[in-house]
Structure 1
């Protein structure tokens, strides 16, 4: 089964209430929320007060992506919002198992995130501990970057690693996800697709519902 997460950071920040209504009409499955600390990535985004108001105004489950150093600190900061998922980057975490358990202790599902250049071996020891993995197809920090095609090879390796697992973690992909890149990602095992500027929050014709349905049609074609 395939799901769509809308990257709310790419939406109109002065009209978030309107954006949330349109995303609900489009029936997206998750609201992907990028938290950036200006250190792990060279950008700042989405503090707890903003996400608290978003949480109050939508029924779409939150998928919080911590693009931060010191993940443990930010887990404690955002856990009170009770999102469905919190992801953190293995590249900066010195206590991965401990932070996985911390997230679970809050009743939230933990997700491990890796950058395009990071090897799959970094998450291999933890595959059975998490329900989902976030594979970045661009470097986190800014929208509109070019898709890293070499990540497709990583997805092939990852899919082979989890194919024999009883409880297979979902594979979420984020970064220039659109009608051009989705088919190859589906074929390599991706399940959850984060839509941002290139597929959803752009000035191309069509409503959010129409754009989301265009991606869902690709899901259906891949099932045939």
Structure 2
């Protein structure tokens, strides 16, 4: 069963602690926190002080997605405020191997994030050291975007790549992970779902209902013609 991770940038930030308590009651598996610097992507989001302020709400993993240039500059900062998982973009750092190594040395799970146009083969020489690979199914930076259809094929290819080379990393999907898309991405190999406004933060349902619906959709049958053409 894929793990459910709410994207906290989609929550009501003025009531974030209360939001997280409701998400705890709904039994989410982890929390996804987007870190943006206004340079690597044209947006700003959550920072270390906010993360520190809510770390005590839960014992569940904090998954930090660093959409920042030179992410190695911030690894120690986010380690100190409670990161359990940390993903960085290949294009954001000159020395990706060194950056991932630094994350792992701190006891944090290390992930690499692939932009929609970044090839799977670009991780050939680091795939053996990452704990998860995040497939961006939209261009990073803003919530509410449309899922890029070719990313279905990319998830499938990444799953095959993992199996072929006997790697152990998990596959994360991030970007318009909707109720419609969840059955497809999970069947294709997604292990970690980043859930935002198109599923968990749908204001027509409660978080409890949202998590239950996501888990049921993970088991739903899929019309393969929807993503193989």
TM-score (norm 2): 0.92
Q: Could you give the per-residue CA deviations for residues 129-180 of structure 1, whole angstroms, max 9, x where no partner exists?
A: 1111111101111100000111111112211111144442100001000110
For residue 50 of structure 1, report the CA deviation from its aligned partner.
Answer: 0.3
CA contact (8 A) 1:179 1:199 kept: yes
- For structure 1, which segment, 95-104 or 152-161, has the greater mean C-alpha deviation from structure 2 after superposition? 152-161
Alignment of 1:1-224 (within 5 A): 1-204=1-204, 206-221=205-220
SS in 2 for 1:32: strand
Once the two structures are TM-superposed, the CA of residue 203 in structure 1 deviates from its matched residue by: 2.0
What is the rounded CA distance, in whole Å, between the counterparts of 1:178 and 1:52 in structure 2? 29
Where does the alignment leave 5 or more consecutive residues of structure 2 unmatched?
222-229
How far residue 219 of structure 1 moved from its aligned partner, in angstroms, is 2.1
Deviates more, 1:162-171 or 1:182-191: 162-171
CA positional deviation for 1:76? 2.1
The RMSD of aligned alpha carbons is 1.5
Deviations 1:16-63 (A, max 9, x none): 011011110111111000000000010001110000011122222100
The count of aligned residue pairs is 222
Native 8 Å contact 1:90 1:96 kept in 2: yes
Secondary structure in 1 matching 2:194? strand
How far apart in 1 are the matches of 2:35 and 2:174? 14
Q: What is the SS of the residue equivalent to 1:171?
A: strand
CA distance in structure 1 between the partners assigned to 2:163 and 2:217 by the alignment: 23
Change (3 A) 1:121 1:164: closer
Listed as ranges, the gaps of 5+ residues in structure 1 are none
- Mapped to 2, the partners of 1:164 and 1:207 lie a distance apart of 40
Distance 1:68 1:125 in 2: 22
1:126 to partner: Cα distance:
1.4
